[in-house]
C-alpha cells in the first residue's frame, strides 16, 4: 500500500459508527426539502433544515429558477471577474446592499466562499483578526489563509474580547468577526457590546448573518438591523442557502471595502459565478420575505412555542433564543445513538459532535421552519422526550 493510503486507512471512525448502526451522515433524501422528506421510501419530519422560511419548494421561487435557466442556461461558464457576470447578478447585488443597509455588495457562489475569500484578504500581515471561538468553519478557514495575527476570544465573552483588543497595536487594523446567530447553539452575538468595544479600540466589525437573515430584524434584515446597529457594522455577510432558499452568498459594505474585495477575494475571482437559477431563486425568495412578513412572525411563534415546551420538559437548551434549538447531550456516541433512535421514530434532526463542538458540548440541533405545523412540532417534541428519557439524558 502506498504511504498515503496506508496513513488514511487508519481513519476508520465512520466504519465503526456504521458497524454500530449509528452512522448519521449522508442520509439519502428522495424528495423536496419540505417539513416532511422521504428517506428510504419513508416519510420523516424534517427538523434539520436551514430553510427557515420554508421557501425551497415555493412555486414562485421554483418558477424564477426555471425561467432564469431557460433564459441564461444552466451555468455562467466562468468567474464574475471575467466572463461570468450577468445583469441579474448586478441587480441582485444592488438589491441586497439596499436590503441590509449598505452601499454596495458582491455575490459569491456559496456563503462559505464569502467568508473564505473576505476574511483571507481584507487585513494585512501586521493587522489583527479577533474571532469568537464558536465562529463558523468558513470564517476559520478564511483566517487560516490570512497573514494577519489571529486572536481568539471566548464565546460571546466581552471581557475576553476586550483583553484581546488591548493586546493589539493601536495603529494597526483590528477586524472583529462574529456569527450574528451562532449556527449550532442558536444564541445571538452581543452586538451592542461588540460595537461599543470596536468604537473604543478603533476596530472594524464583520457580522456573518447566515442565520440572522430572514429571521431577525425588520423583514428579516438580520441581527445588525435588529439591534439598530447596521451603520456601526462595517461588513455584513449573508448566504442564500438558508432563508433565501438557494445557493450562494454575499458581502455588503461601503464602496471602498467592496471595491477592494471585488479585486482581491480569490474565492470570488477564481471560481465560477453563481448560477442563473440560484441567483433568480434567491431574488424571488427575497421578494417573498419582503411581501409576506407573516412568515417570519409564524417562524417566531413556533420558535417561542418550542423553546417553552423544551424548557418545560427539562431539556438543556443553552442560551438559544432563535429557531436553532440545541438539545445538549454531552457525549459523542450517545448523540449518534439518539439521532438514530429519533429517526426511527420518524424525526430527522442533526447530530453535532466533536470536532465541530467540544466533546463535552455535543448536541442535537433542532431547527424550525415557518411552514412546520403545531401538530408536527408536538409530534417531534414528544418523540424527542421519549428517546432522551429512554437513553437516560432526561
Ligand atoms: N456561515 C455560517 C454561520 C453558516 O452556518 C454557514 C453554513 N452552514 C456558512 C457561513 C456557509 O454558507 P453556505 O452554506 O452558503 O456555504
Query: Which residue from 52, 109, 241 has its CB within 8 A of the most atoms of ligand 1, so it is best to mutate?
Result: 241
Residue 225, pLDDT > 90, answer yes
Rounded CA separation 62/64 (Å): 5
Question: Mean per-residue pLDDT for 130-138?
Answer: 97
Residue 356 confidence class, pLDDT cut points 50, 70, 90: confident
CA distance 372 to 381: 13
112 lines ligand 1 (CB under 6 A): yes
pLDDT at 189 over 90: yes
pLDDT at 305: 98
Of the chain, the percentage scoring pLDDT greater than 70 comes to: 100
> For residue 275, what are the contacts with CB-CB under 8 A and spacing of at least 6?
74, 75, 76, 247
Say yes or no to pLDDT of 200 above 90. yes
**Residue 1 clears pLDDT 90, i.e. is over it:** no
Q: Is the CB of 241 under 6 A from ligand 1?
A: yes
Cα-to-centroid distance, 167 and ligand 1 (Å): 30
pLDDT for residue 347: 98
Q: Is the CB–ligand 1 distance for residue 208 below 6 Å?
A: yes
Q: What is the mean pLDDT of residues 23-29?
A: 95
Give percent of the chain above pLDDT 90: 98
Atom number in ligand 1 closest to CA 113: 16
Burial of 7: CB neighbours in 10 Å, binned 0-12, 13-18, 19+: exposed
Q: Is the CB of 183 under 6 A from ligand 1?
A: yes
Distance 101 CA to ligand 1 centre (A): 21
Q: 242 catalytic, yes or no?
A: yes
Pick the catalytic residue from 174, 211, 226, 337: 211
Give the residue from 283, 317, 339, 314 showing the smallest Cα distance to 394. Answer: 314
Average pLDDT over residues 103-130: 98
Mean pLDDT for 182-208 is 97
Banded model confidence at residue 380, pLDDT cuts 50, 70, 90: very high
| Residue 362 pLDDT | 96
Distance CA 148, CA 376 (A): 48
C-beta of 138 in contact with ligand 1 (< 6 A): yes
Q: Can you give the pLDDT at residue 355?
A: 83
Rounded to the nearest whole angstrom, what is the distance from the C-alpha of residue 348 to the centroid of ligand 1? 20
Q: Report the separation in Å between the CA atom of 111 and the middle of ligand 1, taken as the mean of its atom positions.
A: 5
Ligand 1 centroid to residue 50 C-alpha, Å:
10
- Whole-prediction pTM: 0.97
pLDDT interval class at 290 (50, 70, 90): very high
Mean pLDDT, rounded, for 94-103: 98
Give the model's pLDDT for residue 170: 97
- What does the pLDDT look like over 41-56, one tens digit per residue? 999 999 999 999 999 9
Per-residue pLDDT at 368: 98
Mark whether 199 is an active-site residue: no
Mean per-residue pLDDT of the chain? 97
Distance of CA 140 from the midpoint of ligand 1 (Å): 12
Residue from 89, 102, 242, 372 carrying the catalytic annotation: 242
Predicted confidence at residue 301, as pLDDT, reads: 98
- Closest ligand 1 atom, residue 181 Cα: 3
Contacts of 107 (CB under 8 A, 6+ apart): 80, 89, 92, 93, 96, 248, 249, 250, 273, 274, 279
Mean pLDDT of 351-363: 91
pLDDT band per the 50, 70, 90 thresholds, residue 354: confident
Is 222 a pocket residue for ligand 1 (Cβ < 6 Å)?
no
182 lines ligand 1 (CB under 6 A): no
**Residue 249 contacts residue 88 (beta carbons within 8 Å):** no
Average pLDDT rounded to a whole number, residues 95-102: 98
How remote is the CA of residue 6 from the centroid of ligand 1, in Å? Answer: 33
Where does the pLDDT of residue 372 fall: very low under 50, low under 70, confident under 90, or very high at 90 and above? Answer: very high
Alpha carbon nearest to ligand 1 atom 5, residue = 183
Closest-CA residue, ligand 1 atom 12, reads 111
What is the Rg, in whole angstroms, of the alpha carbon atoms belonging to the chain?
21
Look up 211 and say whether it is catalytic.
yes
3-state class of 56 per DSSP? coil
Residues 108-135, mean pLDDT to the nearest whole number = 98
Amino acid at each position: 500500500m502506498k504511504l498515503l493510503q496506508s496513513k488514511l486507512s487508519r481513519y476508520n471512525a465512520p466504519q465503526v459508527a456504521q458497524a454500530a448502526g449509528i452512522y448519521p451522515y449522508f442520509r439519502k433524501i428522495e424528495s423536496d426539502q419540505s417539513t416532511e422528506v422521504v428517506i428510504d421510501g419513508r416519510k420523516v419530519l424534517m427538523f434539520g433544515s436551514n430553510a427557515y422560511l420554508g421557501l425551497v419548494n415555493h412555486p414562485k421561487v421554483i418558477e424564477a429558477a426555471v425561467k432564469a435557466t431557460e433564459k441564461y442556461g444552466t451555468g455562467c461558464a466562468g468567474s464574475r471577474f471575467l466572463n461570468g457576470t450577468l445583469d441579474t447578478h448586478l441587480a441582485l447585488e444592488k438589491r441586497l446592499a439596499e436590503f441590509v443597509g449598505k452601499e454596495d455588495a458582491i455575490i459569491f457562489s456559496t456563503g462559505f466562499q464569502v467568508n473564505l475569500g473576505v476574511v483571507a484578504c481584507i487585513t494585512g500581515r501586521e493587522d489583527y483578526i479577533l474571532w469568537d471561538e464558536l465562529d463558523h468553519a468558513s470564517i476559520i478557514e478564511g483566517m487560516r489563509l490570512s497573514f494577519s495575527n489571529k486572536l481568539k476570544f471566548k464565546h460571546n465573552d466581552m471581557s475576553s474580547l476586550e483583553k484581546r483588543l488591548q493586546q493589539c497595536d493601536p495603529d494597526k487594523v483590528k477586524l472583529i468577526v462574529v456569527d450574528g446567530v451562532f449556527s449550532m447553539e442558536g444564541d445571538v452575538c452581543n452586538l451592542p457590546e461588540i460595537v461599543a468595544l470596536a468604537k473604543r479600540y478603533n476596530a472594524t466589525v464583520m457580522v456573518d448573518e447566515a442565520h440572522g437573515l430572514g429571521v431577525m430584524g425588520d423583514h428579516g434584515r438580520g441581527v445588525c438591523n435588529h439591534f439598530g446597529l447596521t451603520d456601526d457594522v462595517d461588513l455584513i455577510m449573508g448566504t442564500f442557502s438558508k432563508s433565501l432558499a438557494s445557493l450562494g452568498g454575499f458581502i455588503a459594505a461601503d464602496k471602498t471595502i467592496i471595491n477592494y474585495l471585488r479585486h482581491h477575494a480569490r474565492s470570488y475571482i477564481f471560481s465560477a459565478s453563481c448560477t442563473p437559477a440560484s441567483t433568480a431563486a434567491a431574488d424571488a425568495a427575497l421578494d417573498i420575505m419582503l411581501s409576506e412578513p407573516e412568515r417570519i412572525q409564524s417562524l417566531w411563534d413556533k420558535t417561542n412555542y418550542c423553546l417553552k415546551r423544551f424548557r418545560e420538559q427539562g431539556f438543556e437548551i443553552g442560551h438559544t433564543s432563535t429557531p436553532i434549538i440545541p438539545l445538549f447531550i454531552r457525549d459523542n456516541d450517545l448523540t449518534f445513538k439518539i439521532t438514530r433512535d429519533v429517526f426511527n421514530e420518524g424525526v430527522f434532526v442533526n447530530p453535532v459532535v466533536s470536532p465541530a463542538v467540544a466533546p463535552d458540548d455535543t448536541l442535537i440541533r433542532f431547527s424550525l421552519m415557518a411552514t412546520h405545523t403545531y401538530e408536527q412540532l408536538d409530534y417531534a417534541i414528544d418523540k424527542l422526550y421519549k428517546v432522551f428519557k429512554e437513553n437516560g439524558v432526561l
